[in-house]
């Protein structure tokens, strides 16, 4: 017998009470009277982050001084944290380091992949990426193509072309395809395994950007056949503002690739201080120079919380939250011109709900003024990131009700909600 479910706040609270991930909320410090729906842009602060930063500054730096490179494990942090990220994205042992930014890591990975192709398939000069990719990824690829100055060209493809397996764009000119796993604006999720198969069938290599999927859903990088991958730790992994990114390389390329930012941290024996370059074996080869140890140490706190969570349960709750969000928008905001742009099919949905409305910016400003924090992305998109570790079903209810009040009463329509800061 199917139960008739009444959708009201009490029903959402009951779901919160039954939520197996509910306890994780206590692992985070979220300001009171705040519903945080921007964990896909900057994750919330895990408990212990401030204490970790203080311990690094006061004890490891203050007392240990330079000895801490060895005694506090600073030198090994990129690889040690890499193992933790790898556990979350199915990378395998010795496959991942945490270092630099996503933009810089993408430049290194794309350059390394093109060098592999220059040996294996030397005629190929085209890099494909999504037209709707996060712009920094496109800019980095264009910068790399110009830098190489050898006829390399970046071609932009529509999301539908990617989903269909590149029927019109995969030619024997394509050396490399760089794809972001979840579209940052719409929340569309691409299937890694089948898409990578299509890329390999065309003779190209595949780099995946996991910024919007790492920590939000189960990922099987090694099993999915990817060649290289990059991603953030400050979004769903809650590593802190500007925390270092990660970079992963498949086993078959691991001792073969060469990257362009070949600083001393990528050297086989950095402290021999030799004038001759010799790359380290394995993934350390993707390092460049000295890292921000305070930021890296704090990132570990977020990774340790994620490591305790079952990614299957995280994904299940994420889909339940986004289903609820979509259903509430459809039933309670149906008298307003709002359009849900996030795909309805679970297999095509990441961990966010995006809604288009012409006055999106002012509406989001009005929500933020009430402590309900999402963000706005051009054009006209209100973006709500759903982090299952600290977000509940009643939070989603309250968010949609606040939206309803703001829309019904045109509360967004005041000059103060139309002023834009440098960061939106």
Ligand X SMILES: *Cc1c(COP(=O)(O)O)cnc(C)c1O
Query: Are the C-beta atoms of 116 and 257 separated by less than 8 Å?
Result: yes
Task: Return the residues of window 130-159 that contact ligand X according to CB under 6 A.
Answer: 134, 136-137
Binding status of residue 178 toward ligand X by CB under 6 A: no
- The stretch among 88-96, 129-137, 397-405, 413-421 that binds ligand X (CB under 6 A) is 129-137
243 is in an annotated binding site: no
Binding status of residue 232 toward ligand X by CB under 6 A: yes
The minimum distance between CB 423 and ligand X, in angstroms, equals: 12
Binding status of residue 380 toward ligand X by CB under 6 A: no
**75 among known catalytic residues:** no
Characterize the bridge pairing of strands 45-46 and 375-377. Answer: unpaired
- The stretch among 72-80, 116-124, 205-213, 217-225 that binds ligand X (CB under 6 A) is 205-213
Binding status of residue 211 toward ligand X by CB under 6 A: yes
**209 among known catalytic residues:** yes
380 is in an annotated binding site: no
290 is in an annotated binding site: yes
**418 among known catalytic residues:** no
342 is in an annotated binding site: no
The minimum distance between CB 191 and ligand X, in angstroms, equals: 17
322 is in an annotated binding site: no
- Output the CA–CA distances (angstroms, integers) from residue 226 to 5, 137, 321, 332, in the order listed: 42, 17, 29, 42
Among residues 227 and 375, whose Cβ is nearest to ligand X? 375
- Of positions 38, 209, 227, 395, contacts ligand X by CB under 6 A: 209
The minimum distance between CB 136 and ligand X, in angstroms, equals: 5
The minimum distance between CB 79 and ligand X, in angstroms, equals: 20
136 is in an annotated binding site: yes
Query: Are the C-beta atoms of 40 and 352 separated by less than 8 Å?
Result: yes
Active-site residue, from 234, 246, 376, 393 = 234
Among residues 211 and 314, whose Cβ is nearest to ligand X? 211
**235 among known catalytic residues:** yes
- Of positions 68, 102, 213, 291, contacts ligand X by CB under 6 A: 102
168 is in an annotated binding site: no
**383 among known catalytic residues:** yes
234 is in an annotated binding site: yes
Binding status of residue 34 toward ligand X by CB under 6 A: no
- Of positions 28, 166, 184, 257, contacts ligand X by CB under 6 A: 184
Characterize the bridge pairing of strands 96-98 and 372-373. Answer: unpaired
Binding residues for pyridoxal 5'-phosphate: 102-103, 134-137, 180, 209, 212, 234, 264, 290
The catalytic residues are 134, 209, 234-235, 383
Contacts with ligand X, residue ranges (CB under 6 A): 101-103, 134, 136-137, 180, 184, 209, 211-212, 232, 245
């Amino acid at each position: 017998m199917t139960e008739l479910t009444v959708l009201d706040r009490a029903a959402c609270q009951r779901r919160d009470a039954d939520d197996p991930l509910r306890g994780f909320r206590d692992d985070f410090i979220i300001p009171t009277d705040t519903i945080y729906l921007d964990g896909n842009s900057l994750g919330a602060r895990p408990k212990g982050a401030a204490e970790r930063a203080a311990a690094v500054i006061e004890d490891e730096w203050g007392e240990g001084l330079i000895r801490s490179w060895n005694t506090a494990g600073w030198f090994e942090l990129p690889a040690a944290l890499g193992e933790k990220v790898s556990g979350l994205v199915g990378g395998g042992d010795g496959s991942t380091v945490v270092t630099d930014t996503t933009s810089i890591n993408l430049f290194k990975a794309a350059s390394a992949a093109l060098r592999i192709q220059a040996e294996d398939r030397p005629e190929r000069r085209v890099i494909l990426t999504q037209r709707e990719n996060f712009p920094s990824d496109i800019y980095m690829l264009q910068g790399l193509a110009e830098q190489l100055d050898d006829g390399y060209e970046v071609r932009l493809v529509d999301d539908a072309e990617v989903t269909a397996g590149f029927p019109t764009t995969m030619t024997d000119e394509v050396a490399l395809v760089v794809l972001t796993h979840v579209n940052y604006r719409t929340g569309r999720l691409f299937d890694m395994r089948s898409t990578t198969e299509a890329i390999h069938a065309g003779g190209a290599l595949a780099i995946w950007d996991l910024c919007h999927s790492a920590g939000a859903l189960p990922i099987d990088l090694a099993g999915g056949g990817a060649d290289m991958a990059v991603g953030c730790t400050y979004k769903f992994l809650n590593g802190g503002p500007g925390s270092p990114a990660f970079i992963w390389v498949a086993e078959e390329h691991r001792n073969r690739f060469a990257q362009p930012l070949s600083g001393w941290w990528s050297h086989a024996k950095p402290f021999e201080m030799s004038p001759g370059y010799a790359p380290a074996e394995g993934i350390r080869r993707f390092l460049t120079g000295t890292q921000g140890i305070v930021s890296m140490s704090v990132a570990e706190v977020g990774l340790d919380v994620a490591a305790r969570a079952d990614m299957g349960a995280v994904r299940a709750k994420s889909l339940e939250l986004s289903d609820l969000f979509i259903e509430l928008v459809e039933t309670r905001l149906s008298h307003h011109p709002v359009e849900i742009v996030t795909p309805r099919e679970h297999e095509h949905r990441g961990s966010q709900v995006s809604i288009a409305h012409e006055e999106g910016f002012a509406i989001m400003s009005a929500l933020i003024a009430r402590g309900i924090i999402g963000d706005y992305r051009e054009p006209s998109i209100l973006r709500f990131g759903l982090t299952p570790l600290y977000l509940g079903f009643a939070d989603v209810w309250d968010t949609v009700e606040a939206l309803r009040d703001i829309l019904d009463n045109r509360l967004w329509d005041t000059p103060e909600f139309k002023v834009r800061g440098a960061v939106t």
